[in-house]
Amino acid sequence: MLKVISSHVFLRNRLHPGLLDSLQKSGAQGVELYAAKQHIDYTNRSEIRELANWFGSNSLEPFSVHAPLFPDFEMGRAGAPYVNVIHPEKSRRIDAMDEMKRALEVAEQIPFRFMVVHLGERGDAWSPRALEFSMTALEHLRAFANPLGVKLLVENLQSDVTTPGHLLEILNTGHFDDIGVCLDTGHAHLGDGVSSTLTELKDRLRSSHIHDNMGDRDTHLWPGDGTIRWDEVYEGLKLAPHVPAGVLEIHYSFGENPDYVTERAAKAFESF
C-alpha cells in the first residue's frame, strides 16, 4: 500500500518546501495536496511553480489533489459558499465546477494522478436530481481532467448522496469506468462502518483517507487515537483488487509542530 500523507495537517499554514521536507522525512512516498487557497493558492502560477520545482528535485510523489471545498482564502468563514457541484441552483453548480477546474490546472506544472471530489455537502439528500447533477458534474470534470493526465475519485461523505450504494449507482449509471473511489475511513466509521463500506466499494477503490475518530464526530485523529479497528481495515485494503493508496488525512490542529507530524506519520506508516 502506497504511503501518502495529506498536506491537510498543515492547513493553517502556507505550504512551502520546508513543510514538504518534513512530510518526506516521515517515510511518505507521496503527498495529497489540499486545495485550500490560504494553504495552497492553486490560482497563483508562481506559487505552484515553487512547489513544482521542489517536487522536481525530490522523490516525494505529488500523488493527488483534494478538490477545493471553498473558493476563498478563509474556508468560508466570511460567508463564501461551499463548492457544491450538485447544488439545486444551476449557477452554483457551474461556479463549483469552475473552481474545481482551476485546481485541476495545477497538473500543468505538478503532474498528479488523482483529484478527490466531493459530491455535495454533509447531509445532502438522495434524489433523482442528485443522481442527474452528480453524473453531469463528473462528466464535465472528467472531460477537463483527462487531457491533463488526471483521473477523478469520488469520496464517501456523511450524506445520503454518497453512501456506498449511491456512489456505485452514480458511477455505474454514468458508465464512468475510469472514475474510482477514495474511501474515507473516518466518514465510514460514522456511518455504516469501515469494514462494510470497504467491502461494498472495494472494486472501485484507488485511494483511501486514513484517519480515526471516537464514533461521534469527524475529528480526523491519528490512526489508533480513536475506535476504528485498524488491523481489519488495513487487511481489507490490501485485499482490494487495486490496492489503494493509504493517505493520512489528519486534522490541522495537530500540525503546528512539523517534527511532531514527521514522528507521528512515521509511526502510522509502520502499520501500512
pLDDT at 127: 97
pLDDT at 255: 76
Number of independent structural domains in the chain: 1
Average pLDDT rounded to a whole number, residues 4-32: 97
Domain carrying residue 131: 3-269
Establish how many alpha carbons lie within 13 A of residue 176's alpha carbon, considering only the half-sphere containing its beta carbon.
Answer: 26
Task: Please say if the pLDDT value at position 139 is more than 80.
Answer: yes
pLDDT in tens, 25-78: 999 999 999 999 999 999 999 999 999 999 999 999 999 999 999 999 998 888
Rounded Cα gap, residues 90 and 67, in angstroms: 19
pLDDT at 112: 98
Establish how many alpha carbons lie within 13 A of residue 131's alpha carbon, considering only the half-sphere containing its beta carbon.
Answer: 13
pLDDT in tens, 154-181: 999 999 999 999 999 999 999 999 999 9
According to DSSP, residue 208 is labeled E
pTM of the predicted model, to two decimals?
0.96
pLDDT at 78: 83
- Please check whether residue 89 is in contact with residue 130, taking contact to mean a CB–CB distance below 8 angstroms: no
Average pLDDT rounded to a whole number, residues 212-219: 96
CATH of the domain at 150: 3.20.20.150
pLDDT at 123: 84
Share of the chain above pLDDT 70, in %: 100
Rounded Cα gap, residues 31 and 29, in angstroms: 7
Average pLDDT rounded to a whole number, residues 108-119: 98
Establish how many alpha carbons lie within 13 A of residue 25's alpha carbon, considering only the half-sphere containing its beta carbon.
Answer: 13
